[in-house]
Amino acid sequence: MGVLDVGSNTVHLLIVDAHAGAAPIPAMSQKYELRLAEQLNNDGDLKKSSVKTLIEVLQECNKFIEEHDCDELLAFATSAIRESKSSDAILERIRIETGIDLQVLDGEHEAILTFLAVRRWFGWSSGRLLVADIGGGSLEVAIGADEHPELALSTPLGAGRLTRDFFTSEVPKADEIKALIGHVKNSLETDFSHLLTIQFDHAVATSKTFRQLARLGGAAPSSDGQRVQRDLTLESLSKWVPKIAEMNYAQRAQLPGISVGRAEQLLAGAIVAQETMEFLKLESLEICPWALREGIILRRLDWFSDDAE
C-alpha cells in the first residue's frame, strides 16, 4: 500500500506492507521538501511555479509506486492545497497529468485520523487522550477516550504559515516575535478555550515540529528507534525559544535533530508549542511516532476488514 501525503511542508510517499490487525511496516519512504504553505500568493493562490514543481514530484513518486508494485495508493492533501483559491483546478490538473486523485482533508479530519493513530500506538491503557499536532499550515488538537475523538479542532497556527506572515528576516525583530505571540494567544483563546474544562489522562504530541523540539530538549535521536519514550517539556521550551530567536537559519540547522529545510520555521513552531502547552496547562507531552499517515492506513485497513466480513 502506498500513502502519498501532500502536506504544507513536504510531499511524503510512504510504501508499507500492511494487513488488518497488524502494524503497518514501512517498506520505502521518500520525502520532498516543497514548503507549499509558504508558496501562496497574497491573493491566496498557489504559485504556478510551485504547482509545476509539485506535479514533477508526483510524477517521480509514480515511478516508485510502480517499482514497488503497490496494490493501492491512498493520496491526500492538507492545508496548503485546501486553502489555495484555485484548489479544484490544481487537483484536476494533477489528476490529468499524473493520474493521482488527491483527496483533500479538512483540519478536523486530519485531527480525527491522527488521533486514531495515536490511540492505536498507545492502546487503551492510556485512558483519555489529548493529542496535539503542529503542521506547516495548522495546529490540530483532539481529545477523547475512544478511537474516535469527542472533540477534533483545527486552527491556522502552522509553523510555515506563521513564519511567512510574521517574520521578515532570519533573526526576527523583537516586535515581530511579540506580534506572533499575541496572535497565537488570541487564536488559542478564541478556538480552544472550551478545552480547558475537559479532563484527560495522557497528553501526546505528533508531527515533525514536536519531535524536533523534543530532540532539542534531550530526547533520544530517531536512530534509537520508534519505541524509545520521548517527551517534550514546557521547561525545555521556555529555555530554547529565546535561544532560537537569536539564531539565523544556518545556526539553527546545527542544532541536534534540526534539518536545514525545517530551520526557517523552527522558531514559529516552538512558539506555537510553548503557547499551546501553557494555555492547556501541560508540563509535558509524550511524542508519538505515528501520526496522520498511519491513521489513514489504519482506517483503510479497518474498512478492508469490514468489507471482507
* Domain assignments of the chain as residue spans, ordered by start: 2-104, 123-292
Residue 118 sits at the vertex; the CA angle it makes with 117 and 119, to the nearest 5 degrees, is 90
Bridging pattern class, strands 10-17 and 2-6: antiparallel
Interatomic CA distance for residues 92 and 77, integer angstroms: 13
Interatomic CA distance for residues 244 and 177, integer angstroms: 11
The number of beta carbons lying within 10 Å of the beta carbon of residue 183 is: 17
CATH T-level fold of 123-292? Nucleotidyltransferase; domain 5 (3.30.420)
Residue 115 has a pLDDT of: 98
Cell of 246: 537569536
Residue 307 has a pLDDT of: 54
Query: Cβ-count burial of 15 within 10 angstroms (0-12 exposed, 13-18 middle, 19+ buried)?
Result: buried
Mean pLDDT by 10 residues, the chain (309 residues): 93 90 88 88 87 97 95 93 92 97 95 97 97 94 97 95 95 98 98 95 96 97 95 98 98 95 95 98 97 93 66
Q: Please give the model's pTM, rounded to 2 decimal places.
A: 0.94
- Give the three-state DSSP class for 171: coil
Asked whether the domain spanning 123-292 has the same topology as the one spanning 2-104, the reply is yes
Q: Give me the CATH code for the 2-104 domain, please.
A: 3.30.420.40
Residue 254 has a pLDDT of: 97
CB-based contact 162:180 (threshold 8 Å):
yes
Query: Cβ-count burial of 190 within 10 angstroms (0-12 exposed, 13-18 middle, 19+ buried)?
Result: exposed
Helix (H) or strand (E) holding 192: helix 174-192
Residue 306 has a pLDDT of: 58
CB-based contact 145:127 (threshold 8 Å):
yes
Cell of 42: 497574497
